[in-house]
Amino acid sequence: MHSALIAMIAVGQTDVGRVRSRNEDSFHVDPERGLAVICDGMGGHAGGDIASRTAVETVATVIAAQHRAMGGETMSPAEEDRAAADAASTVRSAVVAANRRINAMNRQRGFAEGRGMGTTLVGLWRVPGTGRIVVFHAGDSRLYRLRGGELRLLTRDHSLYQLWHDNGRRGQAPQRNIIVRALGTGEQVEPDIAVHDLQLDDVYLLCSDGLTGIVPEGVIQRMLTQQPPPAAEDACARLIDLANGAGGPDNITLILARFVVLPA
């Protein structure tokens, strides 16, 4: 099937939760370009909301500019490989640019390295003209893929807890919300970037840890695989309700994206 017939349908929602007074999360959904991004800001009065908004806007702007120059004609497998590599390079440039902007603002405000505002980031971008997506992230915001009723995590948390788990779980477990990679707090950041093949009716869940830190994966999977499946807007609202029902200690942001065939 010609990849030009594949389209993304996406819905995003955010909620401040039950404890925080400020929502430091930001998100961006652009179905036309196949782009979805969530950033979970940190820093409180140091400007976590500014960091997340800056990251989202910068990444979206860089990718939108490059999107216009990509895609179009039917591609051979080798051409798709080159397009995917170019898209991954664009994503890396976009994240680097966002990190540079936030880090510069921290320096202007007099914050030392590793201090001030910062943000996690998770996103996906459909490689124009292909049946592939680029998945990218830094921090502990996550991206899941629902395929054939199975929910699979496609990202790996950049957190102290994940490092402890990977190293054999020796000693006392650290807090889950201590992250070891983020945008803005240092001069450089290296996002994890991967290319995945699309299948029709894939559903992708992007979310901040205000959801996954509170609602178990099994509960999320059961909700998303209910029959008949809930509409995307309803599914987002229900997941937010689940997190708030469990105390809502953090901001909650999620995007549900699905890839379908355009009608002839």
In Å, how far from its chain's centre is CA 140? 9
Say what the pLDDT of residue 159 is.
Answer: 86
Amino acid at 226: Q
In Å, how far from its chain's centre is CA 70? 22
Residue 259's Cβ-side half-sphere holds a number of Cα atoms within 13 Å equal to 26
Say what the pLDDT of residue 254 is.
Answer: 98
How many folded domains does the chain comprise? Answer: 1
Average pLDDT estimate for 238-262: 95
Amino acid at 19: V
Task: Residue 255: give its domain's CATH number.
Answer: 3.60.40.10
pLDDT of 1 above 50: no
Contacts for 99-103: CB closer than 8 Å, 24+ residues apart: 99/55, 99/183, 99/184, 99/186, 99/188, 99/189, 100/187, 101/54, 101/58, 102/51, 102/54, 102/55, 102/183, 102/184, 103/184, 103/185, 103/186, 103/187
Using alpha carbons only, give the angle 254, 236, 205 rounded to the nearest 5 degrees.
45
Say what the pLDDT of residue 71 is.
Answer: 60
What average pLDDT does the structure give for the chain? Answer: 92
Maximum C-alpha span of the chain:
59
| Distance set, CA 225 to CA 45, 53, 199, 222, 230 (Å) | 39, 32, 17, 5, 8
What is the pLDDT confidence band of residue 13, given thresholds at 50, 70 and 90? very high
- 3-class secondary-structure state, position 246: coil
Range of the domain at 91: 3-261
Instruction: Give the integer Cα–Cα distance in Å for 246 and 15.
Output: 14
pLDDT tens across 184-220, in order? Answer: 989 999 999 999 999 988 999 999 999 999 999 999 9
Helix 77-108 and helix 48-67, axial crossing angle in degrees, nearest 10: 150
